Structure 1
Amino acid sequence: MFSCRAAWRRCGPLARRAAYRLPLDGVQRQPMSSVPGGSGQNILYTVLCGGALVGALSYGYKTVTSDHERFIERVSEIRARPKTEWTPKPWPPKGKDEDEA
């Protein structure tokens, strides 16, 4: 901890002076060609993306609800089938030779 404090006391003022001396004009600034929402192109992108989102959500909702109804129908059909009592197969299983004899 003592070494960190000593380093900060020695290098801190140098770092502060160097930060104030940075040339602000040395960095090239890219001029803004359009303000967001200022051109028709941005509005077109917004309408297209919004339409795609609405279409995707409506398709997903329709698919999920129809799949749910189909699932319920299938389950009720399976439950309505007649059930037979399960009987185990005889042990040991018969071989091919024993069936022919």
Structure 2
Amino acid sequence: MTFEQILIAPVLSEKTNALREQGKYVFKVDTAASKIEIKEAVRKLFNVKVVDCTVMNVDGKFKRVRGRPGKTSSWKKAIVRLAPGETIKVFEGV
């Protein structure tokens, strides 16, 4: 699995914006990726020093489309904490 396949997309919300001020960044990651692989992918792709990585599985939500019940896909979320003073420039808009 390549580094680009491990990190699927950043998670952007009000809550993740508040976490960014603490030096934490949130990503949607591949379900088969481990903490070590996620740390290495962030370090290589964004050229930053990763201190910690927290991973959690997010269950899909039950939805109703055109009267029929369904469920959204489950996914894996990673919260990556960077060393003090480190930032990911893509998130900062620079």
TM-score under structure 1 normalisation? 0.15
Higher helix share: 1
Pick the structure with greater CA Rg: 1
Larger RCO, structure (CA 8 Å, separation 6 or more) = 2
